[in-house]
Amino acid sequence: GEDVEQSLFLSVREGDSSVINCTYTDSSSTYLYWYKQEPGAGLQLLTYIFSNMDMKQDQRLTVLLNKKDKHLSLRIADTQTGDSAIYFCAESMETSYDKVIFGPGTSLSVIP
Amino acid sequence: NAGVMQNPRHLVRRRGQEARLRCSPMKGHSHVYWYRQLPEEGLKFMVYLQKENIIDESGMPKERFSAEFPKEGPSILRIQQVVRGDSAAYFCASSPPMGTANYGYTFGSGTRLTVV
């Protein structure tokens, strides 16, 4: 089935690391994504990882994928107040097209 | 190179009226997806279209909702006889031809529909 789960809220202090977790159910997922949504805006693709990879690093962002446990995480190093937003985990299904299913989003609050 | 353009940004409709939401995909993108975001909820897939074709409408309510992506012009999401429960943010996304969506969708800024 198609289901992506995330915790809804996360609060961290400025300068600390944030870790946002996600679980998904479909083992045939091909790509997994992290999107960021700032208030009143659309979704912006932050990063993605192919399902045969374990880790991907992009500046302050580190994505870890545990395919056995169907667990994806996003680590934001040195979290800044500008990182406050909703972060969506998403998976691309292996169907006849690249249908993307989103989780409910994790609202990250950064405390100065 | 404009991104995905959605209009209007905000739309207020009275119960029973029709709402028309427009989406122009990014240049070079031929695939359009509509998602609905209810308050404090995630994005729910509604429909996937290519030019003149509906490919997957499994997320569309069976009644009152329809979508099209004509040969010329933007994609339209139409909601007839709106009810309060239709109040939400509607996002459109586009992607290049099939097989390259691994780079992720490009989203518009959304249309926020309020039914009063």
CA distance A36 to A105: 9
Taking only the tens place, the pLDDT of each residue in A35-54 is: 999 988 889 999 989 888 89
Task: Name the minimum distance, in Å, from the CA of B42 to any CA of chain A.
Answer: 4
What pLDDT does residue B68 have?
96
Residue A59 DSSP one-character state? T
Residues of chain B with C-beta less than 8 angstroms from the C-beta of A92: 101-102
Q: Is A64 helix (H, G, I), strand (E, B) or coil?
A: strand
The 3 state secondary structure assigned to chain B is CCCCEEECCEEEECCCCCEEEEEECCCCCCEEEEEEECCCCCEEEEEEEECCEEEECCCCCCCCEEEECCCCCCEEEEECCCCHHHCEEEEEEEECCCCCHHHCCEECCCEEEEEC
Q: Is A47 helix (H, G, I), strand (E, B) or coil?
A: strand
Contact A100 B105 (CB under 8 A): yes
Task: Name the minimum distance, in Å, from the CA of A14 to any CA of chain B.
Answer: 24
Beta-strand relationship, B111-115 and B10-13: parallel
What pLDDT does residue A42 have?
87
Edge-to-edge, what's the strand order for the sheet holding B65-68? B5-7, B19-24, B75-79, B65-68
Residues of chain A with C-beta less than 8 angstroms from the C-beta of B6: 42
CA distance B29 to B31: 6
Nearest to B109 among A4, A41, A98 (CB): A41
Say whether pLDDT at A62 is over 70: yes
Task: Name the minimum distance, in Å, from the CA of B104 to any CA of chain A.
Answer: 7
Is B90's Cβ below 8 Å from some Cβ in A? Answer: no
Contact B104 A45 (CB under 8 A): yes
Structure tokens at A3: 């289901």
Is B99's Cβ below 8 Å from some Cβ in A? Answer: yes
CA distance A4 to B94: 21
Contact A101 B33 (CB under 8 A): no
Nearest to B91 among A4, A42, A101 (CB): A42
Task: Name the minimum distance, in Å, from the CA of A77 to any CA of chain B.
Answer: 23
CA distance B113 to B100: 31
Confidence class for position A27, pLDDT limits 50, 70, 90? confident
Q: How many CB pairs under 8 A join A and B?
A: 64
Locus of tokens 């789960």: A5
Task: Name the minimum distance, in Å, from the CA of B41 to any CA of chain A.
Answer: 6
- Percent of chain A at pLDDT above 70? 93
Taking only the tens place, the pLDDT of each residue in A69-78 is: 999 999 999 9
What pLDDT does residue B8 have?
97
Say whether pLDDT at A89 is over 90: yes
Beta-strand relationship, B75-79 and A100-102: unpaired
Say whether pLDDT at A59 is over 90: yes
What pLDDT does residue A97 have?
63
Is B114's Cβ below 8 Å from some Cβ in A? Answer: no
Q: With a cut of 70, which residues of chain B have pLDDT below it?
A: 1, 40, 98-103
What pLDDT does residue B74 have?
96
